[in-house]
Every structure is written in C-alpha cells, then in structure tokens.
Structure 1
Amino acid sequence: MATPTLDKADAAGTPEPGFADSPYITATFRIRRFNPEVSGEAVWEDFQLEIDPKERVLDALHKIKWDHDGSLTFRRSCAHGICGSDAMRINGKNRLACKTLIKDINPAKPITVEPIKGLTVLKDLVVDMEPFFQAYRDVMPFLITKETNEPTRERLQSAEDRERFDDTTKCILCAACTSSCPVFWNDGQYFGPAAIVNAHRFIFDSRDDAGEQRLEILNDKDGVWRCRTTFNCTDACPRGIEVTKAIQEVKRALITRRY
C-alpha cells in the first residue's frame, strides 16, 4: 500500500507557509530601455516574471537578462550593498537594486526601473559616472599630512575624534544621493552631495592637514553653497548617512573656520 504524502508541518501540525502553496507571484517590471545604436529615444518595455516576492529587484533583472532579453544592460558587482554599482530609480526613488525586496515595493502594480538622473545614459540602466567621480577626485579624498617623511609611529586618534567623522566614512560612491539632487539635475557642474560627504570625511579627520584646502575647493560657486537643503540626498542614501547634516557642517566650517 502506498504511503500517503502529507504537507510538511510544524510541531503543532500547521503546514509551513509557502510549502503547500507556491510562494511565487506574477510581477510586471517596466524598464526604461535605451540603445543609442538603435534609436535616440528611450522606450518603456514590460517583462512579466514568476518570482518570489522575497527576492530582490537585482534578482529580477538577472532573470530578465538570462531568460528573456540578453541585451538588457545594467551594472552590478557584489550584490550585497557594498560596491554601490547597481544604484537605479525603482518606482521613482533612488535605491540599490540588490537591497530592494520586491515585496516592499508593491508588486501588485508594475514596478518601474530606470537609470539614475542627472548623468548621461549610455545604455538602458547604465549612466556615465565620470562627472560624478571627477567631483570626488577634486575634493582630494585621501589623507594629507605636512610630514615629508614616512611616520615613525602610528598616528593615534581618540575614539571621540574618530566619531566626529564616522558617519561619512560609510559612503560607497553609489551616486544615489547626488543623482537625487535637483540642483545637480539642473547643473552638472555642482560638486554634489557625495563629493561633499567625502570631503567632510577628511576635513574633520584630526590626522589630516589639508582641511583649509578642501574648504576653499568647496567654497567655489559650484560648491556647498549651491545646496538648497531639500533632504533628497539623505532620503536616498542606502547607507543611512546624514548627508544634509554633513553638508551643513561643511558650510559652518567655512564660516567659522573651525573644524
């Protein structure tokens, strides 16, 4: 006699969620496509997927590329919210595709995916990051000291001094904050929040001796004074950095010359 098949159950006899019933849903991903070799105009294209809502938008993009359209182009690397390469606009908000769960963005409606704003789109979800990285390089994001020789001992720093700039060390250069800024959208010459955050990280580092230089760089007409304090950058940061606060601290340092 055949042994009957039973649903997997817990100790109380209750079937485990998602075991008897399929956990998959049908979700529509509406992706903004652009291929300069085909057309100068961007178009929206829909893809329907059977997918677990606990998966991430990045997983959905992989399924589309691997199973539906191999020409879909996007950046990604670590897939764990560390490299910052897969920043994009998802349902109108800057997010990291690898950290955004499908269940958290209302999969009952089409999920829109498009490139971040303010930077030239090269293809599909890939933008030209060079202006962003040039602003980053311009603020000299590295330790500068007056010593001409290698130090003979470790440069010690108190926990209090380290805490002063701890928040801005979290930046992963994803450009989510900069590309959420209306000033940057309208004028690509603005340094942007990410560059200012990375300048802040060294301006307030007690071991660094180039604070005045960085402040003068940011005192330019395209520097911190262009900020309109809309808090878009803080809302967009996937690392939870208080970006607007850091910008205000740089402004205050420019006025008081105390940092």
Structure 2
Amino acid sequence: MTQPPGEPDTVGSLTAATRPHTKPAPVPEGAVMVIVKIARFNPDNDRGSYWESFRVPALPTDRMLNLLIYIKSYLDGTLTFRRSCAHGICGSDAMQINGINRLACKILLKDLLPRDGAPTTITIAPLRSLPVEKDLIVNMEPFFNLYREIKPYLITYGPAPERERLQSPADRARFDDTTKCILCACCTSSCPVYWAEKTYYGPAAFVNAHRFIFDSRDHGAAERLEILNDIDGVWRCRTTFNCTQACPRGIQVTKAITEVKRALMFTR
C-alpha cells in the first residue's frame, strides 16, 4: 500500500446513528471540535487505500491516542491501530501524525492546535515504507529482520564470571543514550535511504549496534563493525538528521551513526 491519495471522505458524525452498533458518544465539557483525517486500508475488500475523516470532540490535554480510541469506541469500530502501554515506552502506536513520525500516546492535542483558533484538521497515516496490513498497522518484520542482522545482544568469550560482569559508571555512560531505543521504527521509516532501498539496515539497527559496540563487557564489536561496513551499512547514511528528529526518546541517532563510522575508520 502506498500513501492514500485523494481528498477526505465523509466526515463522521458524533451521533450513534452514523455507525452501526456504536455507543452514545460523550462530549467532554470544554472540548474543541477537530477533524481527524485517517488513512484507511482493508485487505479484505477491494476499495484500496483512501482517506476517511471524523469529527471528534477533544480536550487540549488529550493525547492523539485518546482521539483514536474515541473514534474506535464511538464512531467506527473497524478502525485498526496498535497500542499497549500508552506511556511512550512500548513504541506500539508509532504512526505519521501531520506527516511526522510520532507516538500517538506522546503527542498532545494542544501542541497541534493552531494559535489563531482556526478549524483543526489532523492527518494520521501508517509509518512509511513498511507494508500496511490494515489501516494504521504495518508489518514490522522487515524492520526487525534488519535489526536482528547486527547481533543486538551481548557477545562474550571465555568463562563466565562467578557472579556478574562488572562495569564502571563511566563505561556505562559511554553508550547510555543508545540504550533508550524502544524499536518503534520511527527513525528507520523516516530515513530517505531506507525509502529507496529496503536492504539498508537503517538508523534503529545502527543505534542498537552502537549500544553493544561501545559496551566494555562485549567482545563482538569487530563482528558488528564488519557487518556495518557492508554496502547496506553505515556508509550509506546521508546525515539528513531525519532519524534524530523523529526519535520519540530523544536519542542522538545521527551522532551514534557518526561514532560507529569513526570506530570503523580507526579499526581499519
């Protein structure tokens, strides 16, 4: 599925009569009315991809995830999306919100409202360059397959210690930033190189390689650097900073990729 073309479809009403089997829709006191324009796709019909819009009453302090749950609960129960923790930790609800990769549970409506009070339309679409399964759900396996290629686990040789593998606070701080990755795919699906070539490992894989390459307890740095020195490795990065801007955890992704490049240069 490609990005849905065309203009918004019918605007969903707030009354239960507009959708079968819906509950009466509550309107919170102090709510503002926004139009949520969602990319729709259902593999079980021949309609293809299209846009559908819904009128949703929401408080400025509501998260975008709240608006999606409202639509599914009261306007259209067929709307499909992923969610889990709702606290920016699991990465399940990554999607394009107004064209930018974000977590729906971390974006507040007030941050999307125009300051002049003009009518608000918010567009929501699935992550780019990953196969769409239904509506806002994408198949994450291509992303995870590339992630697994860089051996994202501790590699050690020799006998195991009697108790634990000790590490100083300074050594731990060396890779602290890249331990924050939640594998939401926001960075990788925002990368122009990944858009053009799906065999490119992508920013998320590089971040997780960085996490172990610079871990003083790990013995597999040379193996990972050899993988990342491949044609689909870090040298294809064009330093557009899309990945850093898209990361919901604030990881300095481009900096991590640069450090991996430097490690390759010094190793070589």
TM-score, normalising length from structure 1?
0.89
Corresponding residue to 1:220 among 206, 222, 230: 230
Query: Residue 98 in 1 paired to residue 98 in 2?
Result: no
Deviations 1:177-234 (A, max 9, x none): 0000011111111000000000000000000000000000111101111100000000
Deviations 1:79-134 (A, max 9, x none): 00000010000001000000000111126321000001011111100111001001
Query: Residue 48 in 1 paired to residue 59 in 2?
Result: no
What is the aligned partner in structure 2 of residue 134 from structure 1?
A: 145
Sequence identity, in percent? 63
Q: Structure 2 matches for 1:123-202, cutoff 5 A?
A: 123-147=134-158, 149-202=159-212
SS at match of 1:110: strand
Query: Residue 74 in 1 paired to residue 81 in 2?
Result: yes
Q: Please report the RMSD computed on the Cα atoms of aligned residues, expressed in angstroms.
A: 1.4
CA distance in structure 2 between the partners assigned to 1:139 and 1:28 by the alignment: 42
CA distance in structure 1 between the partners assigned to 2:60 and 2:127 by the alignment: 24
Structure 1: runs of 5+ lacking an equivalent: 1-20
Q: What is the Cα deviation at residue 153 of structure 1?
A: 3.0
CA distance in structure 1 between the partners assigned to 2:38 and 2:29 by the alignment: 26
Q: Structure 2 matches for 1:8-19, cutoff 5 A?
A: none
Q: What is the Cα deviation at residue 154 of structure 1?
A: 2.1
Deviations 1:11-39 (A, max 9, x none): xxxxxxxxxx9321101100000112112
TM-score, normalising length from structure 2?
0.86
CA distance in structure 2 between the partners assigned to 1:49 and 1:41 by the alignment: 25
Corresponding residue to 1:112 among 104, 117, 123: 123
Corresponding residue to 1:23 among 15, 30, 53: 30
What is the aligned partner in structure 2 of residue 59 from structure 1?
A: 66
SS at match of 1:95: strand
Q: What is the Cα deviation at residue 151 of structure 1?
A: 1.8
1:46 corresponds to which letter in structure 2?
Answer: S
CA distance in structure 1 between the partners assigned to 2:75 and 2:29 by the alignment: 22
Query: Residue 87 in 1 paired to residue 94 in 2?
Result: yes
Pair 40,222 (structure 1): closer, same or farther in 2 beyond 3 Å: farther
1:217 corresponds to which letter in structure 2?
Answer: I
Deviations 1:139-174 (A, max 9, x none): 111111012x43213211111111110000000000
CA distance in structure 2 between the partners assigned to 1:23 and 1:206 by the alignment: 54
Q: What is the Cα deviation at residue 41 of structure 1?
A: 2.5
CA distance in structure 2 between the partners assigned to 1:83 and 1:118 by the alignment: 21
1:195 corresponds to which letter in structure 2?
Answer: A
1:49 corresponds to which letter in structure 2?
Answer: V
The aligned length equals 237
CA distance in structure 2 between the partners assigned to 1:32 and 1:230 by the alignment: 27
2:94 corresponds to which letter in structure 1?
Answer: A
What is the aligned partner in structure 2 of residue 239 from structure 1?
A: 249
